[in-house]
């Protein structure tokens, strides 16, 4: 069973959170509410999120300050942030949002379909990265085991390598299709850049796996 991605919704108004949940429910992912910047930071201490929808205008810690805290933390700095605001203060205000680390800045009222489409891109990228980490973990186990099968495991090293290669090929195919889709639809530059980063990671993992194949040199490979 594929684990669902978590999406963090941050807004001090319950009616806005309810509206966001209605818009994003079709994605069939786990939606987590936070009614303040402080509550959002607390949720980020324990859970991993695919994307954060962050209201700019909030009492106490506003969206910009919350985003600054998120980007300072090693654990959360790479989570995409989409700013939502009911007030359009012009280009300077928008620039401040991007400077705070947002991948997008959307003014209310927004098109529900557009918001859902943007969020779905980052959810899909998150899921692909999770698959990549799983493949990397399997590869590390193979490297650390130096070809020794665990007790009770009947798989030979060559068989395990073949299984790893097949799983990686499936992820590579999905990542290639996603990158093509993003390019064809001229999606946000941040999403395209994230997809390109994922493909580079996959390329490095493929090279490391190839180095373990019989007849190749460099039996030890590092996966970043």
Residue 128: its pLDDT value, please?
85
- Please provide the DSSP assignment of 139-174 as one string: HHHHHHHTTPPPTT----HHHHHHHHHHHHHHHHHH
Residue 115: its pLDDT value, please?
92
Question: Is residue 27 assigned to a domain?
Answer: yes
Q: Which residues of the chain have pLDDT under 70?
A: 1-2, 87-101, 142-161, 163, 179, 181-197, 209, 211-224
CATH code, 34:
3.40.50.2300
- Please name the residue that has the structure tokens 């991605």: 5
- Please name the residue that has the structure tokens 């009616």: 15
Residue 54: its pLDDT value, please?
94
Residue 91: its pLDDT value, please?
59
Q: Do residues 50 and 124 touch, judged by C-beta distance below 8 A?
A: no
Let me know whether 62 and 144 are in one domain.
Answer: no
CA–CA separation, 131 and 170 (whole Å) = 10
Residue 8: its pLDDT value, please?
97
Question: Is residue 220 assigned to a domain?
Answer: no
Backbone angles phi, psi at 173, to 5 degrees: -65, -45
Task: Quote the number of domains for the chain.
Answer: 2
Helix H or strand E encompassing 7: strand 6-10
Q: Do residues 122 and 50 touch, judged by C-beta distance below 8 A?
A: yes
Residue 85: its pLDDT value, please?
83
Residue 170 neighbours by CB distance under 10 Å: 12
Question: Is residue 87 assigned to a domain?
Answer: yes
Last residue of a domain, one of 49, 75, 110: 110
Let me know whether 10 and 106 are in one domain.
Answer: yes
- Please provide the DSSP assignment of 78-121 as one string: TS-EEEEES----HHHHHHHHHTT-SEEEESS--HHHHHHHHHH
User: Over the stretch 193-213, which tens digit does the pLDDT of each residue have?
Assistant: 666 667 777 777 777 767 666
CA–CA separation, 113 and 23 (whole Å) = 8
Overall pTM > 0.85: no
Question: Is residue 192 assigned to a domain?
Answer: yes
For residue 54, list its beta bridge partners: 10, 83
Going by the DSSP 8-state scheme, the letter that residue 214 receives in this structure is T
Q: 67: domain range?
A: 6-110
Q: Do residues 52 and 10 touch, judged by C-beta distance below 8 A?
A: yes
Residue 87: its pLDDT value, please?
65
Last residue of a domain, one of 110, 133, 158: 110
Let me know whether 178 and 158 are in one domain.
Answer: yes
Tokens linked to 198: 């994922």
Last residue of a domain, one of 56, 89, 110: 110
Residue 132: its pLDDT value, please?
80
Question: Is residue 208 assigned to a domain?
Answer: yes
């Amino acid at each position: 069973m594929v684990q669902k991605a978590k999406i963090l919704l941050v807004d001090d108004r319950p009616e806005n959170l309810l509206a966001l949940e209605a818009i994003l429910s079709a994605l069939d992912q786990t939606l987590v509410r936070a009614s303040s910047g402080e509550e959002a930071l607390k949720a980020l201490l324990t859970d991993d999120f695919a994307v954060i929808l962050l209201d700019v205008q909030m009492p106490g810690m506003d969206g910009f300050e919350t985003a600054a805290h998120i980007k300072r933390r090693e654990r959360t700095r790479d989570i995409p942030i989409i700013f939502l605001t009911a007030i359009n203060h012009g280009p300077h205000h928008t620039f401040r949002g991007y400077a705070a680390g947002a991948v997008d800045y959307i003014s209310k009222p927004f098109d529900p379909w557009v918001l859902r489409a943007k969020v779905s891109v980052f959810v899909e990228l998150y899921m692909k990265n999770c698959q990549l980490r799983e493949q990397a973990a399997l590869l590390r186990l193979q490297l650390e085991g130096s070809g020794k099968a665990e007790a009770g495991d009947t798989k030979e090293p060559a068989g395990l390598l073949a299984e790893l290669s097949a799983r990686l090929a499936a992820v590579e195919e999905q990542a290639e299709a996603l990158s093509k889709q993003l390019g064809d639809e001229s999606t946000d530059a941040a999403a395209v850049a994230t997809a390109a980063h994922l493909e580079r990671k996959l390329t490095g993992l493929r090279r490391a796996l190839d180095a373990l194949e019989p007849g190749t040199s460099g039996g030890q490979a590092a996966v970043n």
